Amino acid sequence: MIYIADPNPWLALYAHPLPTRVVPPTADLQSFLSTYGSSQQRACDLTPITADLQADLTAALSALPESLMNLLSKSVLGIFFADNLGASGLTDMVALGDGSNNLGFVIVLDRAAFAHTSANAWASWKENSAFVPEQQLQISVQIADQAHDHRVQAMRFLLLHEFGHVLATMTDICPPAWTLPLPKLAGHFSKHSWQTSGSKAIRPEQNFPHREKISFYQQPALHASQALDLYRDLARTAFPTLYASMDVQEDFAECFATYVHTQLLGQPYRVQVSVEDAIVFTSDDFWASPRASEKRRYIDNLLQSLEHNNAGHTFQGLAPFLRMSLNGADLRAHGQSLLVQANQDQENAILWMNLATVFLCLKMRDMGLAIQEQALSLQRLYVRPANCRPPKFRLLMILTPGDLSENTPIDCLLENSPVELLYYYASVEQPLPSPLPAHDAVMVGLSDSQANRALLLAVQASLLGHAKPVINPPHLLPNVNRDQLSELLQGISGLEMPRTHRLSRSQVVTRLSLPRTVEQAGTEPLPGFPLIIRPVGSQAGNHLAKVTSAAELATYLSTVDSAQFFVSRFVDYSSEDGQFRKYRIAMLRGQPFICHMAISSDWMVHYVNAGMYDSAEKRAEEGQFMQNFAGFAARHQAALSAIYERLQLDYLCIDCAETRHGELLVFEIDHIMAVHAMDSASLFPFKAGQVAKLQHAFEQYLYALHTQPLLESAS
């Protein structure tokens, strides 16, 4: 295992095509290889990929089945090159240092292995490494016909072997520490040649003399004169190669590699033994022989599973597409690819739903919502898998159809976690899925918008007496509506939230345009200029404006078409340097966690346009603030505690600032804000660790939930 502290730069690799993931984002891999090499008394060093190796790698991967590449793109972080590896390649898992999350696999290839320009020369060199050479006896291996006997073929065969180790996570021989959210294959590969899946205990009928002495790449224990007997004995077993007979992991990897190589790609695999240039042994076609029948059936099932569980059959959620967008990946090209697939598989609801999310990420709202409607006409329940099987927790999310801002994007926080998310898009007619899927808790994730009020009431009625815990119960969600929230938070010491007034267009015109002295008696006092105005139902600052005069108000109303508006007093929260600082804080059962801080010269602060990506000085201040957030939290503990006491929501986010008098100034509170650690680790090295604290706390909160018993009837 390759343990790391910061997952963000590694996860960012997933935004790029697999053939281009060839540069390790941190020094973690080199540190691992240095330790690995020292254990074998060699200096093992990463080496930059050359242009010709990059071209060969791209060519080697281009011939592989699309279903295989789709799965590898979600599980292999990168393919790298090194010197003095001591083997042609290795595969290992990258995981967080505390063991809480597996991120994916890295594959490292030895550059010296590709000094052979001939694929057959490389395969023969590898095979001969198991024997002390003898002049009269030659062992040759053919893995390419004459037209394909070049380095690309050798690289492809080697990669197929390493990919076999990745795919082993789908089988009964998956090492305990190598869990990933990949589809699991029924049946037991190990039983065909091995007594157990976790050891080298071979079945007696599969054993043969001197097998335990087989060792490749290291100091050989066998002489070439023993090769003829070894290969004849091997031909009576269910092993496709000599390498496969060493242990169950190598058996599976060699079975996968040779099957794809020979049966799908149409290339040979043949071993010949010659004595004084006379051929005395030629291996048979393993996959055509009766001894391969059980393993052939198993590999066939594996490939069918890959075909069924490709990208079009796995619900992605928002997280991977948001990560692609933040890392500059070509989301349009990805969407176009999904669209082609969807048109070829029009009954595939998961494919349509993934495509809808891509279009919504691209701000193509009308198209995204139309595609989403198509998906929901086919099914309304979608599963985002956990990173392990079985999942440690199953969270049923109750959502509403609509844009990305309509629901809690909890998968962005719980990205690559042991929590399985079941997304149900509710309707008034069917507020809960029927039948209910197996789940451990329910989280109500839909927004409290006016359009959702009837749906919230239907969900609330359906959850009465529900046997599982309910996170963010629906009857509490209207508490975060802007006008209701401002009422709830009045009178809290150390907290300021200007009262929000909900006004019709005519009320705005007639009441806000008049001098305050002529307001009717008994009318609730309204803010004077400057004031903040926005349409009811708007999000992300759309049509939010500061108005300083009646003339500006008239201009605003002439350009914004809305029947209802929220109006509140403007508070100048600029610091002494004239900059505005806005914080996003997540609250879990009243405990605050910092998500980010944005600094801007404009009072309307949005992280994406505050210049945080362009200013090292701003990022340094944000990092310092996040590192010392405990002081901020202690300073505002009473106000934060009061927010939780009055709202009672299990999970929420607060956009806030500090006034010039040191009060906590609340702009907005909601449960549908995005929290993630997807920004560049090179620019924001401090973020992933802070967000990881919230993710860990949320997971622990879920695990601690206990099913509440149903209330007994009064009778």
Tens digit of each residue's pLDDT (9 = 90 or more) over 200-231: 689 999 999 999 999 998 889 999 999 999 99
Tens digits of per-residue pLDDT, 533-542?
999 877 766 8
CATH number of the domain at 606, please. Answer: 3.30.470.20
What is the predicted pLDDT for the residue at 524? 52
**Torsion-angle region of 214 (φ positive above 0: left; ψ -120 to 50: alpha; else: beta):** beta
pLDDT of 708 above 70: no
State mean pLDDT over 387-413.
90
- Which of 73 and 370 is assigned the larger pLDDT? 370
Rounded CA-CA distance 451/467 in Å is 28
pLDDT at 184 over 60: yes
95 and 201, same structural domain?
A: no
Q: How confident is the model at residue 301 (pLDDT cuts 50, 70, 90)?
A: confident
* Calpha distance 660→576 (Å, rounded): 8
Residue 489 lies in a domain: no
pLDDT of residue 714: 27
> Across residues 247-253, what is the average pLDDT?
93
Mean pLDDT of 349-371: 94
Give the highest mean pLDDT range of 442-451, 501-510, 681-690.
442-451
What's the distance, CA 372 to chain centroid? 21
Going by pLDDT thresholds of 50, 70 and 90, the confidence category of residue 388 is low
Domain CATH for 553 = 3.30.1490.20
Same domain, 542 and 589: no
Alpha helices in 289-424 (DSSP H): 293-308, 319-326, 331-344, 349-361, 365-378, 410-413
Residues 289 and 142 in one domain: yes
What value does the mean pLDDT take over residues 479-494?
93
Question: Are residue 321 and residue 389 in the same domain, yes or no?
Answer: yes
Q: Where does the pLDDT of residue 681 fall: very low under 50, low under 70, confident under 90, or very high at 90 and above?
A: confident
Q: Please check whether residue 168 lies inside any domain of the structure.
A: no
Residue 459 has phi, psi (to 5 degrees) of -65, -40
Residues 141, 70: one domain? Answer: no
The pTM of the full predicted model, rounded to 2 decimals, is 0.61
Q: What is the mean pLDDT of residues 382-399?
A: 87
In a domain, 456, yes or no: yes
Banded model confidence at residue 510, pLDDT cuts 50, 70, 90: confident
Reading the block at residue 126, the tokens are: 């590898």
Indicate if the pLDDT at residue 386 is higher than 70: yes
Do residues 95 and 124 both lie within one domain? no
Average pLDDT over residues 546-564: 90
pLDDT of residue 260: 92
Inside any domain, residue 170:
no
Q: Look at residue 685 and tell me if it is in a domain.
A: yes
Q: Is the pLDDT of residue 518 over 50?
A: no
State whether 446 and 560 are in the same domain. no
How large is the C-alpha radius of gyration of the chain?
31
Residue 203 tokens, joined: 């079945």
pLDDT value at 710 more than 70? no
Q: Sheet holding 664-670: strands in order across?
A: 495-496, 664-670, 651-658, 580-588, 591-600
Q: What is the reported pLDDT for 494?
A: 96
Tell which of 522, 544, 569 closes a domain.
569
Using CB atoms within 10 Å of the CB of residue 604, give its burial: 0 to 12 exposed, 13 to 18 middle, 19+ buried: middle
Domain-ending residue, one of 91, 115, 139 = 115
Strands 470-471 and 501-504: unpaired
Q: How many domains, the chain?
A: 5
Q: Which residues, 6+ apart, have CB-to-CB distance to 228 below 8 Å?
A: 137, 273, 275, 280, 281
Specify whether the CB–CB gap between 481 and 441 falls below 8 A: no
Does residue 227 sit within a domain? Answer: yes
Closest CA to 104 of 165, 50, 60, 47: 165
Q: Look up the domain containing 651 and give its range.
A: 580-704
Share of the chain above pLDDT 70, in %: 93
Q: Which domain-ending residue is among 446, 480, 514?
A: 480
Residue 517: pLDDT band by 50, 70, 90 thresholds?
Answer: very low
The DSSP line for 37-103 is: HHTTTS--EEEPPPHHHHHHHHHHHHTS-HHHHHHHHTTEEEEEEEES-SSSEEEEEEEETTSS-EE
* Pair (209, 281) in one structural domain: yes
Q: Is the pLDDT of residue 416 over 60?
A: yes
Q: DSSP for 515-531?
A: -GGGSPTTPPP---SSE
Asked whether residue 419 is assigned to any structural domain, the reply reads yes
Tell me what pLDDT residue 385 has. Answer: 84
CA distance 345 to 312: 9
* Residue 333 CB-density burial (10 A; 0-12 exposed, 13-18 middle, 19+ buried): exposed
Band of the pLDDT at 147, cuts 50, 70, 90? confident
Q: Which residue has the tokens 């990092």?
A: 623
Helices 51-62 + 151-167 axis angle, to 10: 60
Predicted confidence (pLDDT) at residue 253 exceeds the cutoff of 50: yes
Q: At what angle do helices 248-259 and 293-308 cross, to 10 degrees?
A: 70
What is the pLDDT at residue 415? 83
DSSP 444-480: E-B---GGGHHHHHHHHHHHTT-SS-EES-GGGGGGG
Share of the chain above pLDDT 90, in %: 62
Q: What is the pLDDT of residue 63?
A: 85
Q: What is the pLDDT of residue 709?
A: 37
Give the total residue count for the chain: 715
Identify whether residues 333 and 298 lie together within a single domain.
Answer: no
Q: Does residue 713 register a pLDDT over 90?
A: no
Instruction: Report pLDDT digits (tens) over 268-289.
Output: 999 999 998 899 999 999 999 9
Decide: helix, strand or coil at residue 139: strand
Q: Kindly report which listed range (198-202, 299-303, 520-524) carries the lowest average pLDDT score.
A: 520-524
Is residue 294 in a domain?
yes
CA angle 446, 452, 456 (to 5 degrees): 70
Q: Which of the listed ranges 62-71, 326-335, 666-675 does the model predict with the highest average pLDDT?
A: 666-675
Please list, in sequence order, all residues whose beta carbon lies within 8 angstroms of the beta carbon of residue 219, skipping any fewer than 6 positions away: none
pLDDT given at position 706: 63
Asked whether the predicted pLDDT for residue 520 surpasses 60, the reply is no
pLDDT at 176: 80
Same domain, 687 and 552: no
Say yes or no: 561 and 602 in one domain. Answer: no
Assess whether 545 and 586 both reside in one domain.
no
